[in-house]
Amino acid sequence: MKRALTAPLIATLIAAATPAKADIAGTPVTVETLVAQAEMVRIADALDAAVDDKDWDRARSFFTDIIDVDFTSLVGGAPATIPADALIAGWSANLTADKTSFHLRGNHRVTFDDDSTATMLSHGYAWNRMERGALKANGGEALWEVWGTYVHGFVQTDAGWKVDAMTFTATAQRGNAFVRDTPGS
């Protein structure tokens, strides 16, 4: 038997939610935020597609000139503030024509800091495949894959929403590290 939720019960459930869970949910979608949230999701997804297509000019177009990046869960080091051109140069040097990649993202949650800045949290999956050299390294697997969480910072510019910060936190990875670490030819 189905039971209808009453307004007081719904209010009680909402009030019982912890602040941490409320923050993770993002800003509720309203008429005022719908277009901006959809644009941020489109940008993050289009960025993944541009990287997989090796369309570096298009990938670069989604960023501000200077960005905060943190990929330390994958490569070590420290978070940095760098020119977006340097990020794209690094990606294009590693993901050359003989290394295939596939990025998939979901569970996008946008939180607006104010009218001109926002943060998007999403889950991501990526794999890289490279035949060259993989047969001689780490058991010969030609594939490396990773799961994790992305945080994108967005800022409203005269040209629309742009990414000004990007963090990826790996939660699991498997496969041949040679494929992850070795630039294509």
Separation between Cα atoms, residue 103 and residue 110, nearest integer Å: 20
- DSSP of 43-65: HHHHHHHHHHHT-HHHHHTTEEE
CB proximity list for 13: less than 8 A, separation 6 or greater:
5
Residue with tokens 């949230």: 37
Tokens standing for residue 19: 């602040």
pLDDT bracket for residue 19 (50, 70, 90): very low
Quick: pLDDT tens for 36-82.
999 999 999 999 999 999 999 999 999 999 999 999 998 889 999 99
Q: Which residue has the higher pLDDT, 70 or 180?
A: 70
Task: Report pLDDT digits (tens) over 70-125.
Answer: 999 988 899 999 999 999 999 999 998 888 999 999 999 999 998 899 999 999 99
Judge contact between 87 and 63, C-beta under 8 A.
Answer: yes
Sorted by where each begins, the domain ranges of the chain are 29-181
Tens-place pLDDT, residues 148-161: 999 999 999 999 99
Which pLDDT belongs to residue 33? 82
On the question of pLDDT at 134 being above 70, the answer is no
Contacts of 170 (CB under 8 A, 6+ apart): 73, 74, 146, 147, 148
**What whole-number distance in Å separates Cα of residue 175 and Cα of residue 95?**
17
* CATH, domain 29-181, list 1.10.3720.10, 1.10.540.10, 3.40.630.40, 3.10.450.50: 3.10.450.50
